[in-house]
Amino acid sequence: MTLLEALGRGIPDDRLVTDADVVASLSGDEAEWAHVGAAAVALRARTEDEVAHAVTVCADLGVPLVPRGAGTGLSGGANAVDGCVVLDLSRMTAVKEVDAENLVAVVEPGIVNDDLKAAVAEQGLWYPPDPASSPWSTIGGNVATNAGGLCCVKYGVTRDYVLGMRTVMGGPAGYGNVVTLGRRTAKGVAGYDLTALMVGSEGTLGVITEVTLRLRPALAGKPRTVVGAYRSLVDAGVAVAEVTRRGLTPSALELLDRACLTAVEDWKHLGLEADAAALLLARVDTPGEGGDAEAQAVVDAFGAGDPMFAMVSTDDDEADALFAARRLAYPALERLGPVLTEDVCVPRSALPTMLGQLEEIARRHDVTMATIAHAGDGNLHPLLITPPGDDAARTAAQAAFEEMLDAAIALGGTVTGEHGVGLLKRDGMLRELDPLAIEVQRGIKQTLDPLGIFNPGKVL
Ligand SMILES: Cc1cc2nc3c(=O)[nH]c(=O)nc-3n(C[C@H](O)[C@H](O)[C@H](O)COP(=O)(O)OP(=O)(O)OC[C@H]3O[C@@H](n4cnc5c(N)ncnc54)[C@H](O)[C@@H]3O)c2cc1C
């Protein structure tokens, strides 16, 4: 029996995509530099049963299965491997339950982050994790990558909001069986934390078909925005380190360099001025006078980097435009040429040193670099941009990319703060982690997926 026939036995024909162009469009994520294989077929699943059937068929026939949400990943995690089934979960979008009494939501994996936020907001609730891709990326993808975002500096990452899930697994569970993991209580320590293991597993251990999420009450009032402008990236890094040193926790602390501001302005004409080498944007969401004092404390800490100016914004439109620019920076830079995206994360005190080293490495390799950062987390996204078709520039950027990973490791940091390992950071991860920890990870993969069908070649 062919793969298509076997899939067709449990899945309606209209879910199966064989048109080469459509399959290709579902075969890659946003990591332009990562290899994309040739998928055999794409499946746009609508139910958990269809997912389970696909996993059973792939296990029986030894065919790789690559889950995908919206394909906004930046490490090649959702890229097809040759001969695989691409399993598109973006049509499983139901909000199954919002339990306002217990601050819990149960959703299908394909719901877009912003759509979930809007759905729970109707009941006065809030789902905090806010990757800059929140208008497009799915909760399944966010969970599978343990996505971070802007407000993580105060409210934590996706992991902190995942209570449980349903997952189609293999190994000891038997391929194609649905396993319920986790809980919906505020606390719970029954057995090994398999929910935590699935968070950030990048589709390599099973397919997430439902997620139980922790919510918070919606915030009241409008946050204050603090802006600081700096003559250099390192100066901005000094200011960020000072914010941490003083024990301040703004609800966002982002960095944008001049190249990002210019790229967004050239594209969207928001009226941004790009005089400074780097801008820091902080948000303070504490209500009332306490918030006023906190915002002023952030202004004071910003002073440590000898800013051109640092102030609480009094112009809501300007503040909104600056945060919009932060979210638009990546697509704006993509217009300039293929982008290789770093995601290094260092201890916050090491931020000025790391920013200096990034500039030095880019200069030495003669690579064009633009930097955005969740600076308050020490999470930096230098974006290496090469002219289309310039192989020499590409080789130089690749060398700079690896050196930046090594610089982060040397400062006690990690090669990926939030985007995941995927294809692009596999070598870097091997250099970062204890070799015995790598062996434990290989053991886990072997136990849970002995046939190696779940997103093979990613992470490990
Ligand atoms: C403009 C832009 C801004 C971004 N900003 C941020 C940011 O601030 N913070 C951040 O963390 N990331 C950011 N990203 C990266 C990306 O958006 C996140 O990694 C996001 O979580 C991916 O979600 P997705 O639905 O697009 O998943 P995909 O890219 O489709 O998949 C990502 C990974 O998850 C796996 N996967 C997807 N769904 C499932 C499932 N149901 N079960 C099992 N595995 C699954 C895939 O196999 C793949 O390994 C940004 C990307 C862009 C393009």
Q: Which of 332, 328, 331, 292 is nearest to 312 (CA)?
A: 292
Pocket test for ligand 1, best of 26, 58, 74, 383 (most atoms within 8 A of CB): 74
Pocket test for ligand 1, best of 68, 202, 328, 414 (most atoms within 8 A of CB): 68
Kindly report the pTM of this predicted structure. 0.97
Residue 133 to residue 89: CA distance in whole angstroms: 17
- What is the Å distance from ligand 1's center to 442 Cα? 23
- What is the Å distance from ligand 1's center to 199 Cα? 12
Pocket test for ligand 1, best of 84, 145, 165 (most atoms within 8 A of CB): 145
Q: State the pLDDT at residue 200.
A: 98
Kindly tell me if the per-residue pLDDT of 324 is higher than 80. Answer: yes
- What is the Å distance from ligand 1's center to 144 Cα? 7
* CA–CA distances in Å: residue 139 to residues 94, 212, 323, 367: 11, 11, 22, 34
Q: State the pLDDT at residue 3.
A: 97
Residue 156 to residue 134: CA distance in whole angstroms: 15
Measured by CA distance, the residue closest to atom 2 of ligand 1 is 133
Q: Which of 111, 89, 236 is nearest to 167 (CA)?
A: 89
Token couple for 438: 């790598």
- What is the Å distance from ligand 1's center to 215 Cα? 20
Q: Model confidence at 245, in pLDDT bands (50, 70, 90)?
A: very high
Average pLDDT, the chain: 96
- Using CB distances shorter than 6 Å, the residues near ligand 1 are 29-30, 66-74, 77-78, 89, 109, 131-133, 137-138, 140-142, 144-145, 147-149, 202-203, 207-208, 330-331, 418-419, 455, 458
Token couple for 174: 């038997």
Q: State the pLDDT at residue 203.
A: 98
Kindly tell me if the per-residue pLDDT of 142 is higher than 90. Answer: yes
User: Which atom of ligand 1 is least distant from the CA of 330?
Assistant: 1
Q: Model confidence at 268, in pLDDT bands (50, 70, 90)?
A: confident
pLDDT tens-digit profile of 27-82? Answer: 999 999 999 999 999 999 999 999 999 999 999 999 999 999 999 999 999 999 99
Q: State the pLDDT at residue 440.
A: 98
Kindly tell me if the per-residue pLDDT of 274 is higher than 80. Answer: no
Location of structure tokens 């001049």? 258
Q: What is the DSSP string of 171-215?
A: GGG-TTEEEEEE-SSS----SS-HHHHHTT-TTSS-EEEEEEEE-
| Mean pLDDT, residues 135-159 | 97
Q: Which of 294, 267, 255, 203 is nearest to 381 (CA)?
A: 255
Q: State the pLDDT at residue 270.
A: 79
Kindly tell me if the per-residue pLDDT of 271 is higher than 80. Answer: no
Q: State the pLDDT at residue 365.
A: 97
| Mean pLDDT, residues 114-130 | 98
pLDDT tens-digit profile of 181-236? Answer: 999 999 999 999 999 999 999 999 999 999 999 999 999 888 999 999 999 999 99
| Mean pLDDT, residues 236-251 | 97
Measured by CA distance, the residue closest to atom 13 of ligand 1 is 131
Kindly tell me if the per-residue pLDDT of 318 is higher than 90. Answer: no
Please list the alpha-helical segments (H only) found in 207-287.
Answer: 233-245, 258-268
Q: State the pLDDT at residue 407.
A: 98
Give SS3 for 210.
Answer: strand
Q: State the pLDDT at residue 316.
A: 87
For the ranges 88-97, 119-128, 177-186, 264-273, which has the lowest average pLDDT?
A: 264-273
Neighbours of 36 (CB within 10 A): 18
| Mean pLDDT, residues 390-404 | 95
Q: Are 205 and 449 in contact (CB under 8 A)?
A: yes
Pocket test for ligand 1, best of 137, 194, 212, 254 (most atoms within 8 A of CB): 137
Q: Model confidence at 115, in pLDDT bands (50, 70, 90)?
A: very high
Q: State the pLDDT at residue 269.
A: 84
pLDDT tens-digit profile of 363-387? Answer: 999 999 999 999 999 999 999 999 9
| Mean pLDDT, residues 159-182 | 98
| Mean pLDDT, residues 108-122 | 98
- What is the Å distance from ligand 1's center to 293 Cα? 36
Q: State the pLDDT at residue 265.
A: 87
Q: State the pLDDT at residue 327.
A: 86
